[in-house]
Amino acid sequence: MELTVVGCSGSGPGPASPASCYLVEHDGFRVLLDLGNGAFGTLQALADPVTVDALYLTHLHADHCLDVAPFVVWHRYSGRSRGRPVPLYAPAGADRRLASAYYGDGAPLEDVFDFTVLTGEPFDLGPFAVRTARTAHPVECHAVRLTAGGRSLVYTGDTGASAAVVDLARGADVLLAEAAHPDVPGLPGGLHLTGRQAGEHAAAAGVGRLLLTHVPPWVDAEGQLASAREVFPGAELVEPCATYAV
């Protein structure tokens, strides 16, 4: 299994990276985890969009889903569509919300996507066994665990401190964890992890590797990494366009 970072900037595109988007591949099957604003352009430099087999949207904030709109344009007008709808897994209401974002009248997108609502039940997606967990975030958000070939990747999506995310990540080979909040007092809970909290979640879950992501442009990424390493010494910051073996 391989993980390629298409976009990793937190809360919106940054000067060095689009917003959240991760390409996961195993045995020739490709799934996108989130497709935030700015990510579709970078995706085209890394992979042919027609080879994307499925999309998984953790939640419906713009920095995780807004580039679904250019994905629709590409599939409708490039002349290189797959010829069948692309499976898209997302929270309830994604079909309407994404249709409205694409075009104001909310005309359906079922010619491009086969929508499936995330319910918390496990499912199979190509070679992947998929498990999910609700996170601590103001809107419905589902962390995801992908298992294939005896290896597991967990992606937190957006979350504050969450026992459910720790349980989902238990024993995973790689935890791709957001670290958007700096370690300063007074920030609201139930929204994002600090670097230290990401490290604590990784340590509590007993994961093999911690990759930090979703650091906003105005937050000191190296500071987030240093905080995570206080409790999980091997923590790493993801790099835009880098590929990681899981």
> Over the chain, what is the mean pLDDT?
97
Could you report the per-residue pLDDT of 85-113, keeping only the tens digit for each? 999 999 999 999 999 999 877 789 999 99
Which residues make Cβ contacts (< 8 Å) with residue 116, sequence separation at least 6?
A: 87, 88, 89, 90
Whether 54 and 32 have beta carbons less than 8 Å apart is answered as yes
- In this structure, what are the phi and psi dihedrals at residue 46, rounded to the nearest 5 degrees? -110, -30
Whether 179 and 195 have beta carbons less than 8 Å apart is answered as yes
Could you report the per-residue pLDDT of 124-142, keeping only the tens digit for each? 999 999 999 999 999 999 9
Whether 189 and 168 have beta carbons less than 8 Å apart is answered as no
Could you report the per-residue pLDDT of 187-221, keeping only the tens digit for each? 888 899 999 999 999 999 999 999 999 999 999 99
Tell me the one-letter amino acid at 136: A
Q: What's this model's pTM, rounded to 2 decimal places?
A: 0.97
Domains of the chain, first to last:
2-245 (3.60.15.10)
How far lies 112's CA from each of 68, 94, 127, 160, in Å?
A: 10, 13, 22, 33
CA–CA separation, 127 and 131 (whole Å): 13
- pLDDT at residue 24, rounded to an integer: 99
Mean pLDDT of 30-48: 98
CA–CA separation, 133 and 25 (whole Å): 21
